[in-house]
Amino acid sequence: MLIVMKPHATAEQIEAVKQKISSMGFTAHSIPGAQRVAIGVTGNRDALEAELFITMPGVADAVRVSQPFKLVSREVKEEDTVIDVGGVLLGGRQIVVMAGPCSVESKEQILEAAAAVKRAGAVILRGGAFKPRTSPYEFQGLREEGLKLLALARERTGLKIVTEIKDTETVPMVAAYADILQVGARNMQNFSLLERLGSLDKPILLKRGLSATLKELLMAAEYIVSRGNHRVALCERGIRTFETMTRNTLDINAVPVLKALSHLPVIVDPSHGIGLRQHVPAIARAGVAAGADGLIIEVHPQPDKALSDGHQSLSSDEFATLMKQVEGIARAIQRPLISALPG
């Protein structure tokens, strides 16, 4: 249930509603929002009677939330969530592009990639330091050394950094370096990790699982938000289908459907979505046209030498060309691209 307070409800009246919720054995969640004060109720098995709350002083309305995902739903919060990543606004009118290599491989590689993606207009640098690889014999990432190199690239370019968090043990270490923590597709339903991230004060980029439904993705986001971390962005990165010509099938439907069901920002990852370098630009353009709030794209200074995902990584030049196209599409739908910050 969602309890909406009157515009001039006092702090005491808000507190009284929260107290009542707790005394019933349920959890009260303050819903951040500029427009109104609202309190979400979770933990109840059966629907609550609206009368229990609408008779309380300061309460404007008590409405049932029909979706199983509560706090991330549009029913609970109508306005878009805008995540402030050190001045870069994710989920606002402007489209945010994150780009960089699949993995951080060396100082030269990450600094070159960072400079190139910044030049082309990206504002967030991606790069994995802890890589969840299908084979245990493949490159697993530079671990903390990789995080240090990302931090160096941030210092040199002013780009924010997004990097994958692979397990609960490394949360403090990764959080100490990253601006956004990325939960990979393989970890979308790692519930202990999601719960841990729920108590963190850092934005989370939650990628859709390889065969997860949109409901499962939203329920995974609910795990994080229900623990108190409201700064979650959803990422469509392609799902497993019967098709074998492409690595995955980017579910373009996910973009408008997620935007309608949830107030969280939606990011499209065309690189993992199709898995073929020559087709990444088409899918990136489609993502923006479909209403994504941002893109995350793999770019490598020498894609053919990449230690992971080279076949789907764009060269710096290819990325620069794509950014011009993306800018055109963004303009056509009245959503300008955020351009690189000075520094």
Q: How far is the CB of 298 from Mn ion (least distance, A)?
A: 6
φ/ψ region of 51 (left if φ > 0, alpha if ψ in -120 to 50, else beta) reads alpha
The residue with its CB nearest to ligand PEP is: 184
| C-alpha to C-alpha distance for 274 and 268, rounded to whole angstroms | 11
Placement of tokens 């330091």 in the chain: 129
296 binds Mn ion (CB under 5 A): no
Cβ-based nearer residue to ligand PEP, 190 or 229: 190
118 is in the binding site of which of Mn ion, ligand PEP, none (Cβ under 5 to 8 A by kind)? none
| C-alpha to C-alpha distance for 227 and 212, rounded to whole angstroms | 22
Residues in region 99-118 near ligand PEP by CB under 6 A:
102
Candidates 8-16, 62-70, 111-119, 181-189 — which segment interacts with ligand PEP by CB under 6 A?
Answer: 181-189
Closest CA to 162 of 85, 109, 105, 92: 85
Q: How far is the CB of 311 from Mn ion (least distance, A)?
A: 10
Residues in region 300-339 near Mn ion by CB under 5 A:
309
Cβ-based nearer residue to ligand PEP, 9 or 171: 171
Count residues near ligand PEP (CB under 6 A): 8
| C-alpha to C-alpha distance for 47 and 67, rounded to whole angstroms | 12
For the packed helices 316-332 and 280-290, what is the interaxial angle rounded to 10 degrees?
Answer: 20
Candidates 67-75, 87-95, 179-187, 220-228 — which segment interacts with ligand PEP by CB under 6 A?
Answer: 179-187
102 binds Mn ion (CB under 5 A): yes
The correct pick among 146, 184, 294, 301 for binding ligand PEP (CB under 6 A) is 184
164 binds Mn ion (CB under 5 A): no
Residues in region 204-223 near ligand PEP by CB under 6 A:
207
| C-alpha to C-alpha distance for 94 and 81, rounded to whole angstroms | 13
128 binds ligand PEP (CB under 6 A): yes
Structure tokens of 13?
């009246």
Candidates 96-104, 155-163, 166-174, 209-217 — which segment interacts with Mn ion by CB under 5 A?
Answer: 96-104
Count residues near Mn ion (CB under 5 A): 2
Structure tokens of 165?
């968090």
Cβ-based nearer residue to ligand PEP, 17 or 306: 306
Strands 232-236 and 83-85: unpaired
Q: How far is the CB of 12 from ligand PEP (least distance, A)?
A: 46
Quickly list DSSP for 105-140: --HHHHHHHHHHHHHHT--EEE-BSS---SSTTS--
The beta strand positions in the chain, using DSSP E, are 2-5, 27-31, 38-42, 59-63, 83-85, 88-90, 96-100, 124-126, 160-164, 180-183, 204-207, 232-236, 266-268, 294-298
Q: How far is the CB of 209 from ligand PEP (least distance, A)?
A: 9
272 binds ligand PEP (CB under 6 A): yes
| C-alpha to C-alpha distance for 307 and 330, rounded to whole angstroms | 32
Cβ-based nearer residue to Mn ion, 229 or 312: 312
184 is in the binding site of which of Mn ion, ligand PEP, none (Cβ under 5 to 8 A by kind)? ligand PEP
Q: How far is the CB of 119 from ligand PEP (least distance, A)?
A: 22
Give CA torsion, residues 264, 270, 309, 311, to 10 deg: 180
Placement of tokens 């029909």 in the chain: 66
Residues that bind ligand PEP (CB under 6 A): 102, 128, 184-186, 207, 237, 272
Residues that bind Mn ion (CB under 5 A): 102, 309
